[in-house]
Amino acid sequence: MHAEASVAAPPYSRANPFPAKLLVNRRLSGPDSAKDTRHFELDLAGWGLSFEVGDSLAVYATNDPQLVDEIIHALGATGEEEVPRPKGALTTLRQALLRDYSITQPTPKILRAIDLWGMEIVDFLSDHPSARFAPEEFVGLLSKLQPRLYSVASSLRAYPDQVHFIVDVVRYESNGRLRKGVCSSFLAERADDVPVPVFPSIAKHFHLPEDPDVPIIMVGPGTGVAPFRAYLQERGATGAKGKNWLFFGSQHQRCDFAYGEEFEAFKKEGLLTRLDCA
Ligand SMILES: Cc1cc2nc3c(=O)[nH]c(=O)nc-3n(C[C@H](O)[C@H](O)[C@H](O)COP(=O)(O)OP(=O)(O)OC[C@H]3O[C@@H](n4cnc5c(N)ncnc54)[C@H](O)[C@@H]3O)c2cc1C
Domain locations in the chain? 19-60+147-204, 65-139, 205-277
What pLDDT, on the 0 to 100 scale, is given for residue 106? Answer: 77
| Average of per-residue pLDDT across 14-22 | 95
For 117-129, how does the pLDDT look when each residue is reduced to its tens digit (9 = 90+)?
567 888 888 887 7
What class does CATH assign to 19-60+147-204?
A: mainly beta
Assess whether pLDDT exceeds 70 at residue 213. yes
For 220-256, how does the pLDDT look when each residue is reduced to its tens digit (9 = 90+)?
888 999 999 999 999 999 999 999 999 887 665 554 5
Ligand 1 neighbourhood includes 174 CB (under 6 angstroms): yes
Distances (CA, A) of 228 to 10, 112, 208: 33, 43, 10
CB-based contact 245:216 (threshold 8 Å): yes
Ligand 1 centroid – CA 38 distance (Å): 14
| CA of residue 9 relative to chain centroid, distance | 26
- From 55, 119, 149, 185, mutation site for ligand 1 pocket: most ligand atoms within 8 A of C-beta: 149
Ligand 1 neighbourhood includes 102 CB (under 6 angstroms): no
Ligand 1 centroid – CA 170 distance (Å): 7
Per CATH, which fold does 205-277 belong to?
Answer: Rossmann fold (3.40.50)
For 47-81, how does the pLDDT look when each residue is reduced to its tens digit (9 = 90+)?
988 999 999 999 999 999 999 999 999 999 999 99
| CA of residue 158 relative to chain centroid, distance | 22
Distances (CA, A) of 223 to 92, 97, 158, 206, 209: 37, 30, 20, 16, 22
- Residue nearest ligand 1's atom 11 by CA: 167
Q: Is the ipTM of this complex over 0.90?
A: yes
